[in-house]
A and B are shown apart, each in its own frame.
Chain A
Amino acid sequence: MSQAGQATRRRRSATERRARRGGRGGRGEQLMVPDAEFTSYYGRPVIRQPVWRTPDVTGYLFLGGLAGASSVLAAGAELSGYREVARVAKTGAAGAIGLSAVALVHDLGRPGRFLNMLRVFKPSSPMSVGSWLLAGYGPVAGAAAVAELTGVFPRAGRAATVGAGLLGPAIATYTAALICDTAIPAWHEGHREMPYVFAGSAASAAGGLGLFAAGLDDARPARDLAVAGAAVELVAKRRLLARLAGDGTQNLAEPYETGRSGTLLRVAEGLTAAGLAGAVLGRRSRLVSAASGAALLAASAMTRWGIFEAGMASARDPKYTIVPQRARMNGATQPSGSSP
């Protein structure tokens, strides 16, 4: 019977196969410890591929972060008297959150029923929490921008700016819980580090937008936020990958280091580093500041896209589901509670 031998295919991991071919591949791909062999049902995935799409959900992860952190920047700049940056950040926040609402509704299987999100409030569902956050934050961020751009109701506008600044941090970070509270191995197992990656990436993007759009005289808060955010993002991403790599037998860092997601994240890291350097060193050049801001914005978008794709890749291959669960059962590795 010709199929008999294939009925339960025993597969070597991609890493091991690459190593046997002579170690082709970029840095970070040549792990010394090969994955354990594992069994699957005809190589089929155990879990389901998310139905979330690019650019809807990837765009939302980026724009939500940009909006939330822009509101943080707007509030800080408003209180410290940096009018131009405050104006840019308020406009950016409202525009980004408006676009993300469109993206979220568009991604629904039944867009006409988007209001069903507000039927219940469930802390057990990050999407429910996020829907209520958006319902609260969106109008406030919008009001802050309208008051800023039209000059009407200045005191209400100032209150809205502060209110959006209070809700912004939650908007920028809850999306980490949104993707980690899933069965997707490369997302779930990174749940302790992902919120810091998202916070850093959001701050870096919002600071980047300020650097890009505001004049040199007024850019200081944007520069400070961009530098702090980019630094946090770089460190948090490294910690995320260290956690996911574990002792090498689980190798959940692999989806972040290989394929399209790996390319996106490597380019993103380069852009973040370049933007960070430019923001620090180019503070007397309008051109360098603007270019740094643009690099940080692009880096943030590519980071979210890369993380999204890494999760999709980890859902496609059953080894990322089966091998860590086997390891957990065999006690061969620490349960995922150990700290880095």
Chain B
Amino acid sequence: MTSGTPDPPRMGFFTDTSVCIGCKACEVACKTWNEVPEDGLVLSGMSYDNTVGLGASTWRHVAFIEQPVSVPAGGADGVRWLMASDVCKHCTESACLDVCPTGALFRTEFGTVVVQDDVCNGCGYCVTACPFGVIARREEDGGAHKCTLCYDRLSTGMEPACAKACPTESIQFGPLDELRERARLRVSDLRDAGQDNARLYLDDPSDGIGGGGAFFLLLDEPEVYGLPPDPVVTTRDLPAMWKHVALAASGLAAAAVALGMRRRA
């Protein structure tokens, strides 16, 4: 950025799963724009979800859940479809970024979290630290990869490919503050309409990851969609870990002193 230009506001995704139709246009748009390689064409047996999950070469993933429901009036059994497009959460307190030993992961001027592929040495620490199982190492090149929230498109004022391609505005892109406001209105509308299970997920800056840069409106518990119900960034406990490491190391150092002082007879 040139000096004098104010920082852009924090940008993010609001994924409103109540209007997702499971078309997977987001998956296709993401793969196409970002030239993400093909990573397997298999039948999973998981409803219409043959993508299975996010990974090094899958940065948008549409989940399909078929829930049996009984209709009270007619007594007939039916199915409730849940569809949801998952993505990297671009956490406020981001475990992958915290633990990355090379500085390959960094926070952009848009508040998003991005891997610099030319720096990553494939240590895999981010993979183990992510509470959502998002970031992964690609076998072919040994590096860690995930959603960039289309950093290149954002830099030129465009919206991310998945949000652009979404035909129902299930994936909404914009300044995070505005998205949160819009999401609160939407969830209260849905509840007024009788959708008692509608709830926001990762919208709260006081949650375990400081809120997501990407957050969701869900129609059931997070774990139904494969999401952790109460994720907490691991580095919140790191000060306690260092304290116990220091105490344990002090014990070893004391052992050295004790051994050194017991002179040979």
Contacts and interface: CB of A to CB of B under 8 A. Distances in A.
Contacts of A64: none
Given A46-B227, A172-B252, A322-B228, A80 B98 contact: no
Nearest to B65: A7
A32 interface: no
B223 A328 contact: no
A325 B229 contact: yes
Contacts of B125: 125, 127, 182
Contacts of B73: none
A40 B223 contact: yes
Given A80-B263, A173-B248, A7 B67 contact: yes
Interface residues of B, number: 79
Given A109-B124, A183-B234, A221-B259, A41 B225 contact: yes
Contact of A3 (B47, B104, B123, B141): B47
Interface string B125-156: 10111111111110001111000000000000
Nearest to A221: B259
B130 A47 contact: yes
Nearest to A45: B133
A192 B121 contact: no
Contacts of A202: 252
B249 A321 contact: no
A228 B131 CA distance: 37
Contact of B249 (A8, A46, A76, A199): A199
Contacts of A166: 253
Contacts of B79: 1, 4
A225 interface: yes
Given A8-B224, A39-B224, A80-B263, A183 B101 contact: no
Contact of B226 (A40, A116, A194): A40
Contact of B259 (A80, A122, A126, A172): A80
B229 A326 contact: yes
Contacts of A182: 99, 125, 128-129, 234
B184 interface: no
Interface string B46-65: 11000011000000000111
B120 interface: yes
A131 B44 CA distance: 41
Contacts of A126: 99, 238, 241
Contact of B240 (A75, A192, A221): A192
A170 B124 contact: no
B158 interface: no
Contacts of A124: 98-99, 235, 238
B236 to A, nearest CB: 10
Interface of B: 44-47, 52-53, 63-68, 79, 95, 98-104, 119-125, 127-137, 141-144, 221, 223-231, 234-235, 237-238, 240-242, 244-245, 247-253, 255-264
28 contacts: A4-B67, A42-B226, A51-B127, A72-B259, A76-B260, A108-B122, A109-B121, A109-B141, A109-B143, A110-B141, A120-B102, A126-B99, A126-B241, A173-B249, A173-B252, A177-B241, A177-B245, A181-B237, A183-B95, A183-B133, A184-B128, A194-B244, A199-B251, A221-B259, A221-B262, A224-B259, A325-B229, A325-B231
